[in-house]
């Protein structure tokens, strides 16, 4: 089945769209900054588990916090990939393609696609924050009530979440993506074009080996808690524990 073209997506009574930005877990195309020491297959397994975590946590946030939103999965390289078709069926998300030459262009197109469907708020989130508290999603939506732009700062100088109430021409151009300048330059651009911005709490995403090692430490601490109090999924816990052993053996 071909992916639904953006112009034919059904209109919805909800006013907010939450979009998970994800790549298919293809070895050699995801989490490449972790290779080495990870193999491409290991990096793809980790990434795939993170995508599932994000979809599960956004679904839980909607149900637990009673958020009136529609969930989308923005897919690369294509919504036709079998991984995304499985996610559509099992996670109840709507699929759109990522379109554009770089991350900024792809995010801008996602905002354009969903605003054109009548949404008044659109929030994009990456898949590298598997421990993000559920209330951060509600906080982002609440912040958008009084601001045009909300950003969730990542500890490495980027951002893990961005939300807009309207298109922001120029916001995503001339940004050196995957650098520590992304958040600062985005804020400066917002001020230049008259966009009222606000930040929610920062969170660590997982791009580097240091990030992965920090996540493994948190996961090990989580394992000592009661099962109902744990943040990590059993799936990601298993992946991280296996990677920790392999990293030790390769040191």
pLDDT by residue (tens digit) across 23-60? 999 999 999 999 999 999 999 999 999 999 999 999 99
- Asked if residue 105 lies in contact with residue 172, where contact means CB atoms within 8 angstroms, the answer is yes
Report yes or no: 116 and 104 within 8 Å, Cβ to Cβ. no
Dist CA 132 CA 136 (whole Å) = 7
Exposure class string for 61-83: b at 16+ Cβ within 10 A, else e = bbeeeebebbbbbbbbeebebeb
Give the lowest-confidence range in 12-16, 127-131, 242-246. Answer: 12-16
Q: Which DSSP symbol is given to 145? A: T
Q: Which residues contact 137 (CB under 8 A, 6 or more apart)?
A: 18, 58, 61, 65, 67, 123, 125
Give 52-77 as a DSSP string: HHHHHHHHHHHHHHT--EEEEEEEES
The H or E element containing residue 161 is: strand 159-164
For residue 196, what are the contacts with CB-CB under 8 A and spacing of at least 6?
146, 147, 148, 149, 190
pTM of the model: 0.92
| Strand 16-23 relative to strand 149-153, pairing | unpaired
Is there a contact between 76 and 24 (Cβ–Cβ < 8 Å)?
A: yes
Q: Does the pLDDT value for residue 4 go beyond 90?
A: no
Rounded mean pLDDT, 6-20: 69
Residues 13-204, CATH architecture: Alpha-Beta Complex (3.90)
Read off the pLDDT of residues 143-201 as tens digits, 9 standing for 90 and up.
Answer: 999 999 999 999 999 999 999 999 999 999 999 999 999 999 999 999 999 999 999 99
In the numeric block, the tokens 């294509």 are attached to 78
Q: What is the rounded distance in angstroms from the CA atom of residue 103 to the CA atom of residue 249?
A: 35
Q: What is the distance between the alpha carbons of residues 183 and 62, in angstroms, rounded to a whole number?
A: 27
What is the side-by-side order of every strand in the sheet holding 197-199?
A: 94-97, 69-76, 16-23, 121-125, 159-164, 149-153, 197-199
């Amino acid at each position: 089945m071909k992916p639904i073209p953006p112009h034919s997506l059904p209109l919805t009574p909800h006013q907010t769209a939450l979009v998970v930005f994800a790549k298919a877990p293809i070895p050699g195309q995801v989490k490449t900054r972790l290779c080495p020491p990870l193999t491409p297959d290991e990096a793809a397994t980790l990434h795939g588990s993170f995508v599932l975590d994000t979809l599960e946590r956004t679904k839980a946030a909607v149900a637990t916090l009673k958020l009136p939103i529609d969930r989308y999965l923005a897919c690369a390289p294509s919504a036709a990939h079998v991984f995304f078709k499985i996610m559509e069926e099992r996670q109840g998300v709507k699929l759109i393609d990522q379109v554009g030459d770089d991350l900024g262009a792809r995010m801008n197109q996602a905002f354009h696609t969903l605003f054109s469907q009548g949404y008044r708020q659109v929030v994009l989130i990456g898949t590298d924050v598997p421990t993000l508290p559920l209330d951060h999603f509600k906080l982002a939506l609440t912040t958008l009530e009084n601001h045009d732009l909300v950003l969730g700062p990542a500890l490495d100088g980027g951002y893990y979440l961005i939300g807009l109430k309207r298109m922001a021409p120029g916001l995503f151009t001339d940004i050196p993506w995957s650098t520590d300048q992304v958040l600062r330059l985005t804020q400066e651009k917002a001020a230049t074009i008259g966009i009222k911005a606000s930040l929610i709490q920062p969170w660590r995403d997982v791009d580097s080996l240091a990030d992965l090692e920090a996540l493994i430490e948190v996961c090990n601490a989580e394992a000592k808690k009661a099962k109902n109090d744990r943040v990590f999924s059993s799936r990601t816990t298993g992946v991280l524990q296996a990677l920790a052993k392999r990293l030790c053996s390769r040191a």
